[in-house]
Structure 1
Amino acid sequence: MGRFGPEYWDKYGVYRTPLGFNLTLFVLLRPFLVWLMSALTWRPDLDIMSLFFPSKNDFLVAISIAAIALMPTVLYSMRRPSSAQKWGRVWRYMRWPLLLTAVLDLTWLLSQAASNHFQFSFYLAAQIVLVSWVILYLINSRYLTCFFGDWPEPDPK
């Protein structure tokens, strides 16, 4: 199966999803999550969007960058034995769109910091640190290599 033993497999015989992968999706898809939270908390005195995105243009750029990570997210949701095997060949390369999203996101965040003359902003600094950790995780994780190389076999039923 790979470098990791049966204790890492789920009931279908494929590698279990690492917690770091779920947190990676959470960090990379945060513009969509902030958008959803701001839509659900429809209060004029609580403007969540302005904490993360000072202007509408910043939000649109962030959504555009995060949209790259939607394809791995959709394929991850299809990762079960009843799915077509052709998606397994595509799944093998899904680390690269995530890494591209993280690098573009970090570049965008750093350009935002530079445009503010590197004045300290807690929300911007926290995002930069989180995205940097995601990049390090995507590059250094050996388990992700096995996780992306594994796709469930079709159901024999």
Structure 2
Amino acid sequence: MKQYGPEYWDKYGVYRAPIAFNLSLLVLLRPFLIWVLVAVSRQPELDLMSIFYHSKHDFFVAMGIASGALISAAVYSFRRPSSSPKIATLWRFMRYPMLFTACLDLGWLLWKAQLSYYQFSGFIAVQLVMVAWVILYLLKSQYLACFFNDWPEHEPPKKS
């Protein structure tokens, strides 16, 4: 495994999260982001959800698929020295839920394209490209192997 120098470390002495990892989480969690954006808009006369999803069933399927990446995002949010060391053992395997979610998402998008008889849809095409990029990134990135194997050292609470 390739080792990376101190320029890749954060203030806790562990590897920084790559920007592409954060972008991958955004791509995989896009149904939740769309849901939050629609909830925040507070304009009932605009049916913003129908721009992204044709039916409620499509939205709930997308939310179900994205929930796999939500697990990785939750564990990632605990990546600091004050967190439990038990979470560190989970962190080592968080690449796999993300990869599984991306593969399910790609399959679902291909199925949606097939339902429209492969008629070109810019929205589906952009999503297919983004999800395919996430899959390639999760499979091929050497830095992610180091990133997922690194966890901040547990610091006991300071006595005052």
TM class by shorter-chain length? over 0.9
One-letter code aligned to 1:51: I
Q: Residue 111 of structure 1: CA displacement?
A: 0.2
In the other structure, the counterpart of 2:47 is 47
Instruction: Give the aligned CA root-mean-square deviation in angstroms.
Output: 1.4
5+ residue gaps, structure 1: none
Counterpart-to-counterpart distance in 2, 1:120 and 1:105? 18
In the alignment of these two chains, the number of paired residues is 157
* 1:6-155 mapped onto 2 (5 Å cutoff): 6-155=6-155
Provide runs of 4+ in structure 1 moved above 4 Å.
none
Counterpart-to-counterpart distance in 2, 1:2 and 1:116? 45
The answer to whether the 8 A contact 2:2-2:142 is kept is no
Q: Residue 65 of structure 1: CA displacement?
A: 0.3
Counterpart-to-counterpart distance in 2, 1:15 and 1:144? 9
TM-score between the two structures when normalised by the length of structure 2: 0.94
The answer to whether the 8 A contact 1:14-1:151 is kept is yes
Q: Residue 124 of structure 1: CA displacement?
A: 1.0
- The residue matched to 2:74 in structure 1 has which SS? helix
TM-score between the two structures when normalised by the length of structure 1: 0.95
One-letter code aligned to 2:107: T
5+ residue gaps, structure 2: none
- The residue matched to 2:83 in structure 1 has which SS? coil
Q: Residue 11 of structure 1: CA displacement?
A: 1.1
Q: Residue 154 of structure 1: CA displacement?
A: 1.2
Q: Residue 90 of structure 1: CA displacement?
A: 0.7
